[in-house]
């Protein structure tokens, strides 16, 4: 029996599953995984493991210029939600967390403040400043796991939940090694390269769909999925 692994780009999935008013929760991810497992192309396959990728919350404190005081990022509600989500997901069966880190890279003037400037000069206060925070190590972990899972023949199918075309090289590698790559973009319009280097595109909120060329390559899926041609770009 063929086996598959589900790789979830956490930052991407949280944006698609949640909103400004209601943040994505562990329940949302449980429903996402259940929907993927129920997709017809995977019904006769065995789940190997679910991999969730994200960044640990920023816990450091930094002095904000212009008398803004000390900003303790670990006290931010975003950090608390992340810790709670990671704790809940880590307790789910067949689930592994792969966590990178966030890096504080200084302060910048917010776009909103800059757009208010209608003269060549403007006084800047600490309320105009936003932290510059970058994510490190997450994409690398996804790429390494795709390579390891396929090279070691742990799975025959990679199910990638993402809309990031940076993963195209890893997708191409997996397919060259004989694995199938199923893409779950959660309704996101993705670059043509992602569709070109995947074998199926699954729509989990409808009947799972596939590109026309894929249906020609995998006849057994034709009865379960609807052909869909994508004209997409980010």
Q: Is residue 175 part of a domain?
A: yes
Q: Is residue 161 part of a domain?
A: yes
Q: Is residue 118 part of a domain?
A: no
What pLDDT shows up at residue 117? Answer: 62
Query: pTM above the 0.85 mark?
Result: no
Q: Is residue 11 part of a domain?
A: yes
Count structural domains, the chain: 1
Residue 150, domain extent: 3-56+92-102+135-227
Residue 154 near residue 48 (C-beta atoms within 8 A): yes
Domain CATH number, residue 190? 3.40.50.1010
What pLDDT shows up at residue 162? Answer: 97
What pLDDT shows up at residue 70? Answer: 95
Measured between its terminal Cα atoms, the distance across the chain in Å is 36
Q: Is residue 119 part of a domain?
A: no
What pLDDT shows up at residue 143? Answer: 97
What pLDDT shows up at residue 31? Answer: 95
Q: Is residue 113 part of a domain?
A: no
Number of Cβ within 10 Å of residue 26's Cβ equals: 16
Question: Which tens digits make up the pLDDT trace of 82-123?
Answer: 999 999 999 999 999 999 999 999 999 888 877 776 666 778
Q: Is residue 77 part of a domain?
A: no
Q: Is residue 125 part of a domain?
A: no
What pLDDT shows up at residue 223? Answer: 29
Provide block-wise average pLDDT over 10 residues at a time, the chain (234 residues): 97 93 94 96 97 95 92 93 96 96 92 73 85 93 98 97 97 98 96 97 62 38 33 32
Phi, psi of 182 (to 5 degrees): -105, 130
β-strands 61-64, 69-72: how paired? Answer: antiparallel
Structure tokens at 183: 């893409």
What pLDDT shows up at residue 150? Answer: 97
């Amino acid at each position: 029996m063929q086996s598959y692994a589900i790789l979830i780009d956490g930052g991407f999935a949280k944006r698609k599953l949640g909103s400004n008013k209601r943040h994505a929760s562990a329940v949302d991810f449980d429903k996402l995984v259940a929907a993927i497992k129920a997709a017809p192309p995977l019904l006769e396959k065995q789940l190997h493991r679910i991999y969730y990728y994200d960044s640990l919350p920023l816990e450091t404190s930094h002095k904000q210029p212009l008398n803004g005081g000390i900003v303790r990022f670990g006290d931010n509600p975003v950090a608390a939600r992340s810790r709670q989500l990671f704790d809940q997901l880590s307790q789910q069966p067949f689930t592994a967390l792969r966590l990178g880190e966030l890096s504080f890279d200084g302060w910048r003037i917010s776009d909103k403040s800059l757009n208010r400037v209608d003269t060549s000069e403007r006084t800047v206060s600490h309320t105009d400043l936003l932290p510059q925070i970058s994510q490190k190590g997450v994409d690398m972990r996804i790429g390494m796991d795709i390579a390891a899972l396929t090279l070691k023949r742990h799975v025959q199918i990679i199910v990638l939940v993402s809309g990031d075309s940076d993963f195209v090289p890893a997708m191409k590698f997996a397919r060259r090694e004989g694995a199938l790559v199923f893409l779950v973009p959660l309704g996101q319009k993705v670059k043509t390269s992602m569709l070109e280097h995947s074998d199926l595109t699954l729509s989990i909120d409808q009947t799972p769909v596939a590109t026309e060329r894929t249906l020609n390559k995998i006849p057994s899926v034709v009865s379960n999925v609807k052909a869909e041609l994508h004209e997409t770009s980010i």
